[in-house]
Amino acid sequence: MTLRVVLGVSGGIAAYKACELLRRFTESGHDVTVVPTAAALEFVGAPTWAALSGKPVATDVWSDVHEVPHVRIGQAADLVVVAPATADLLAKAAHGLADDLLTNTLLTARCPVVFAPAMHTEMWEHPATQANVATLRQRGSVVIEPAEGRLTGADTGKGRLPDPAEIFELALAVLERGGTGLDLAGRKVVVSAGGTREPIDPVRFLGNRSSGLQGYALARAAASRGAHVTLISANVSLPDPAGASVVRVETTAQLREAVLSATANADAVVMAAAPADFRPVSVSDAKIKKAHDGSSPSIELTQNPDILAEIAHDRARDGAVIVGFAAETGDGTGSVLDLGRAKLDRKGCDLLVVNDVSGGAVFGSSDNEAVILGADGTSVEVPRGSKSALAQVIWDEVARRFVG
């Protein structure tokens, strides 16, 4: 289905990144109208936007007045995305100012609106900007948390425009849920993703095949529903999901420390990461060499802490919803679901997402299917589909369990 998308571009150095975002929308078959501010055209000229969108662009309300663009563009839109959104643009939008075509469009739009801020850290953290962001979120707009990294000049910090591909995915998730999709607004959620690695020597480790795709889909979905997201990422080589604060870890011990720290004020914790169950008792300082006689070294293992059981049984916050994952294959003791139900009871979490990973299914795939078991006896089957779709169902189940 062709959607009518308005891409607003305000005057920041990150305006050039919006070109990629525009291409993603147009190459997906959507009808995109680019509405830049006059300042944005100082960074990327009108011919570029016109060539990429196939439409002329204007910044003021005086062009083609007979078509009443300052009203019609917003009225006709299915989605408005502003990327980058500067501190000035956020302030105007929060206070209802309308001195150009983009701000008029924001006032007339009745569709989902997504702002992707980009500015220096000090500007983002200023109380005025934070108050404006809070106002926009309260009114139902999605304001994505900026990414951290290199800014203009030599500065580094929070304020980078998130990866355009991630903004695109988040915007589509917002659009799919429509105007009722911000049920996680104001909630703080923690998601873990990927697989931990336990070093054996400087070049080898014990690990697993988790790609992190499901955890990243969960983080993206939560951000699209208005949540403040902390993503704890274990050895994942994927772009940071737009709107998530990313904490990187390697070992299970590091994952545990990060999870315990992040869950203190969390409304929900989704443990999609695959921690290694065991680690070597000792780690060699030097690479372990092959023996000339063909013998193999012996590696003594010890069990890693059970992070899911720990945070479920010793909850840092009353009312927090704890979600675990179970990658099962079934064995002589029971089926995949039998093992899943036993694990749910043993772990003490509120929800357990059970995957049948027989034959290596799920790992690294863009699709997934699962059964979501609830401690209250519920069971929700999610047929094979995208990991993003499964993520939305998981958050549906989490949201239903929030108290107050």
The structural domains of the chain, with segments of one domain joined by +, span 4-180, 188-400
Determine the Cα–Cα distance for residues 271 and 259; give it in Å rounded to an integer. Answer: 9
Domain 4-180 is found in CATH 3.40.50.1950: yes
Residue-level pLDDT at 365:
74
pLDDT tens per residue, range 353-389:
998 877 555 565 778 889 999 999 999 999 999 999 9
Note if 132 is an active site residue: no
Query: Distances from the Cα of 142 to the Cαs of 10, 184, 220, 226, 229, in angstroms?
Result: 17, 11, 12, 6, 13
pTM confidence score: 0.90
Domain 188-400: top CATH class: alpha beta
Helices 101-108/69-76 angle, 10° precision: 50
Cis amide prior to 297 (ω within 30 degrees): no
Residue-level pLDDT at 201:
94
The answer to whether domain 4-180 and domain 188-400 are alike in fold is yes
- In 206-220, which positions are buried (b, 16+ CB within 10 angstroms) versus exposed (e)? bbbebbbbbbbbbbb
SS3 287: coil
CB 11 within 8 A of CB 92: no
Cis amide prior to 84 (ω within 30 degrees): yes
Residues of the chain with pLDDT under 50: none
- Both tokens of residue 196? 């931990």
- Out of 104, 132, 208, 265, pick the active-site residue: 208
Residue-level pLDDT at 199:
96
At CA 55, angle to CA 53 and CA 57, rounded to 5?
A: 100
- Both tokens of residue 313? 């049984």
Determine the Cα–Cα distance for residues 383 and 362; give it in Å rounded to an integer. Answer: 13
Torsion 121-126-128-131 (CA) sign: positive
SS3 80: strand
- Which residues on neighbouring strands pair with residue 189, listed in sequence order? 229, 268
